[in-house]
Structure 1
Amino acid sequence: MEAVEDLENLRNTVISIEESIGKRVIGSRRIVRFMFIALLTGNHILMEGVPGLAKTMLANEFARHTRMKFRRIQFTPDMLPSDVTGTIMFNIESRKMEFKEGPIFANVILADEINRTPPKVQSALLEAMEETQVTIGGETHSLPKPFFVIATQNPIEQEGTFPLAEALMDRFLFRYYLEYPSREDELNILNSIGKYDDPSLVLMPDEIIEFRSQVDNVYISEEIKQYLVDLMRRTRENDLVYLGASPRTTAKYMKAARANALISGRSYVIPEDITFMAFEILNHRLILKPEAIMDETDDPKLIVKRIIDRVLSEVPVPK
């Protein structure tokens, strides 16, 4: 009975936070759900959109509603790995070498314009995102828990950028495309300016850690596991895909589906938990063949979406 109440409390809290952030960042409810899924599974999210779509405000509001320490790192071409992780400095007073923490020592990190910094700096995030630690001068330093990276990219301006390596891209559970708001949402943005309320419900860091431990207890039937495996295998068989989803993606996908069920107040996974996030979890993991883009005017994002929709239509949904 207590477990059921915990699930209901989590569901109500998440819905309340989605609504509260949605009042400040109009049209953000869907992406906030993906942020929660990534957070509860120990993963991270990559947001892609043109400047001015409130990506920084969204990350800040998410940290505020979860009472987590927030830091923004603005990535630039002249950065060094130590600008992110920290460095060892000589303390004149103590006459000892001491470690000075970098900005990555926080709970929520906004890695702003992550593709503007060289691969050497990008790689400094790999250990942090996967192991929740950084190694400096042969010493390992643990990062605060929970630890969550929200990275951003500008899809338009590519001059002076460094594409993310596949290994780093795979560290992001989701790549979420932010679009321009609808006419109604843009009017609501104007009407919301100057209105600022303290959140009525928040999720504390210790509660997040507790709910994280419950994700793997969410039941997933053998039929849905088979459905998920068949979807992933179908991405590898598509004639327009050079490289499909890996087995690691399959494992991450199952955990994400469990997290979505948990957030929805259920102790079991249903097929909709799989289909709900198919595009966001797969769009950066499918490498297309050159012939997939037949026309220069084709939008690669739409091509990937058509392929994912086709894969979903080809695999029977379990009853």
Structure 2
Amino acid sequence: MSHGFSALRTHLAQFIVGQSALVDRLLIGLLTGGHLLVEGLPGLAKTTAVKALAEGVHARFKRIQFTPDLLPTDLLGNEIYHPETRTFSFQPGPLFNEIILADEINRAPAKVQSALLEAMAERQVTVAGESRPLPELFLVMATQNPLEQSGTYPLPEAQLDRFMLHVALDYPSRQDEYDILARTLSGTLGGKAVSESQLTVPQVLAARKSVQSVHCDPALQRWVVDVVASTRQPEAAASGLSGLAGMVLVGASPRGALAWVQAARALAWLDERDFISPDDLLTLAGDALRHRIIMSPKALVAGVTRDHVIQQICTHLPPP
């Protein structure tokens, strides 16, 4: 890991306490260009984390609050007519920034979600029939609240698959909560912190190229494919998985395997290694695969979760 990213970690630690997994995933997204879906209850530093990340890399940042009355043009921008010259000019929307926080993404209707999907997948938007490229560093971190689902629009599977990682946040430990309270009262958490990070957008883009040189052993590649294929019909993968028969409707796609390995590359690079270890892949298995699996009604009744399926597969099909 370069000195610039070490300083970025130090910068993020000034704002975030007890969410080391979220910090790692944000850095992975930054190093791979992969988008993140973060699910957690209010007050777990989701917004604070991505704002601190943008500040640490000196990138243009925009927070978009998704609501039921949001329109696609509120994201993309619009053509503005000038009657004095009888001409149109394009007014860019908030998606033309480098780091985007899509807050409570499941509260926006399908048209808005679809507009964001094109931006995430193609890194461009289409307005008035003309395609316009987005910044080279374009990272979307979307959040959703697992509670208060009334009046929301669940993300379709096609859009979920566009996220590299689905990060599920839990409450911090008791000690971390104490540290948050103590540092907030003393004024040493967040607001008054001075960033020591000198990392810039061009340096991030250069780091992305070096991440691509991290080696993944062919044996690990085969294991990744085996695990991803096993999510589609786990009972056929190993005798110990017979209890999962009928629990999964749809498993992970090949995009899941690609995202998993790309994320593991970034994690190895952050650990100053030029090769992926089995532990890198095991650490990221849930985040890379959980949003790509659809459970059956039988699983919902039995209380079998996507994380349980992934954990069981990785246990009965251990990495080489």
**CA contact 1:110–1:151 (8 Å) conserved in 2:** yes
State percent identity of aligned pairs: 40
Q: Which runs of 5+ in 2 are unaligned?
A: 235-244
**CA contact 2:19–2:172 (8 Å) conserved in 1:** no
Output the aligned Cα RMSD: 1.5
| Between 256-265 and 128-137, the greater mean CA deviation after superposition | 256-265
The alpha-carbon deviation at position 35 of structure 1 amounts to: 1.2
Equivalent position SS for 2:88: strand
Q: Which residue of 1 aligns with 2:289?
A: 282
**CA contact 1:41–1:256 (8 Å) conserved in 2:** yes
Equivalent position SS for 2:96: coil
Q: Which residue of 2 aligns with 1:30?
A: 21
- Where does 1:244-255 land on structure 2 (aligned, <5 Å)? 244-255=251-262
- The change in CA–CA distance for 1:145 and 1:75 in structure 2 (over 3 A counts) is same
Q: Which residue of 1 aligns with 2:53?
A: 62
- Where does 1:1-319 land on structure 2 (aligned, <5 Å)? 8-9=1-2, 12-193=3-184, 194-195=187-188, 196-238=192-234, 239=245, 240-295=247-302, 298=303, 303-318=305-320
**CA contact 1:50–1:156 (8 Å) conserved in 2:** yes
TM-score (norm: length of structure 1): 0.91
Partner Cα distance (1:271, 1:13) in 2: 26
1:230-261 Cα deviation digits (max 9, x unpaired): 11112122222111111121122222222222
The alpha-carbon deviation at position 202 of structure 1 amounts to: 3.8
Equivalent position SS for 1:159: coil
The alpha-carbon deviation at position 284 of structure 1 amounts to: 0.9
**CA contact 2:57–2:197 (8 Å) conserved in 1:** no
Partner Cα distance (2:178, 2:209) in 1: 41
- The change in CA–CA distance for 1:27 and 1:13 in structure 2 (over 3 A counts) is farther
**CA contact 1:53–1:178 (8 Å) conserved in 2:** yes
**CA contact 2:104–2:145 (8 Å) conserved in 1:** yes
Equivalent position SS for 1:276: helix
Equivalent position SS for 1:157: coil
The alpha-carbon deviation at position 93 of structure 1 amounts to: 4.3
Q: Which runs of 5+ in 1 are unaligned?
A: 1-7
TM-score (norm: length of structure 2): 0.91
**CA contact 1:19–1:29 (8 Å) conserved in 2:** no
**CA contact 1:23–1:192 (8 Å) conserved in 2:** no
1:47-77 Cα deviation digits (max 9, x unpaired): 1112222221111111111111110001111
**CA contact 2:26–2:50 (8 Å) conserved in 1:** no
Partner Cα distance (2:261, 2:47) in 1: 29
| Between 202-211 and 104-113, the greater mean CA deviation after superposition | 202-211
